[in-house]
């Protein structure tokens, strides 16, 4: 699926949002403003309940990746160059919509596809149903108590591999 965003449209959206960080992400000028998204043949409009469930999965994923690397919220915020408060909101508040800067920085820091994190954050109009189902399944079976077991690490690695595979699809 290809979306076409003109530079004028992007500039209008950026200037209309007082909270947007205009330094986030790469410049959109080299490819004429085309963004390639994951194959969303199994896509459906992201409804409110779906967005909340996706965001729960995003919070679990970020928390697990942070724990895997042995980082506190403050340390991850510093290393990924994001707001500590926003990071806490993403991890614990499924009604919070993460800003694009945070999603981009986490994608880069953890090497997780941006398109997957964007869908999980609920910032896209279309969602990949396979990704949604895998996210909900992963979040439902995740336990945040104590240190990560080898089984939890394998489950996390498998889920990240799924995110990468869905981004390539």
- On whether both 90 and 119 belong to a single domain, the answer is yes
* Distance (Å, whole) CA 63 – CA 115: 19
Number of domains in the chain: 2
- On whether both 55 and 118 belong to a single domain, the answer is yes
- On whether both 102 and 164 belong to a single domain, the answer is yes
Any idea what the CATH number is for the domain that residue 90 is in?
1.10.260
Contacts of 3 (CB under 8 A, 6+ apart): 34, 35, 37
Q: What is the pTM of this model?
A: 0.67
- On whether both 9 and 27 belong to a single domain, the answer is yes
* Distance (Å, whole) CA 105 – CA 29: 20
Domain carrying residue 131 = 40-168
- On whether both 87 and 46 belong to a single domain, the answer is yes
- On whether both 45 and 28 belong to a single domain, the answer is no
- On whether both 88 and 121 belong to a single domain, the answer is yes
CB contact at 8 A, 132 and 50: yes
pLDDT per residue as tens, the chain (169 positions): 556 667 676 666 666 665 545 454 444 443 343 333 344 444 444 558 888 999 999 999 999 999 999 999 999 999 999 999 999 999 999 999 999 999 999 999 999 999 999 999 988 878 888 999 999 888 888 766 567 778 888 888 888 888 888 887 7
- On whether both 86 and 159 belong to a single domain, the answer is yes
- On whether both 54 and 8 belong to a single domain, the answer is no
Contacts of 157 (CB under 8 A, 6+ apart): none
């Amino acid at each position: 699926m290809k979306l076409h965003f003109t530079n004028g449209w992007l500039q209008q959206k950026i200037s209309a949002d007082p909270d947007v960080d205009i330094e986030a992400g790469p410049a959109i000028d080299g490819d004429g403003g085309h963004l390639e998204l994951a194959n969303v043949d199994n896509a459906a409009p992201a409804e409110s309940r779906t967005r909340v469930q996706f965001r729960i999965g995003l919070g679990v994923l970020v928390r697990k990746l942070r724990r895997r690397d042995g980082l506190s919220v403050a340390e991850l915020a510093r290393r990924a160059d994001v707001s500590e408060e926003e990071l806490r909101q993403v991890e614990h508040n499924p009604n919070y919509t993460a800003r694009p800067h945070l999603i981009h920085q986490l994608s880069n820091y953890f090497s997780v596809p941006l398109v997957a994190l964007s869908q999980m954050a609920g910032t896209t109009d279309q969602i990949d149903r396979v990704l949604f189902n895998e996210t909900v399944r992963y979040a439902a079976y995740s336990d945040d108590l104590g240190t990560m077991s080898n089984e939890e690490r394998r489950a996390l690695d498998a889920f990240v591999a799924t995110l990468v595979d869905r981004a390539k699809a």
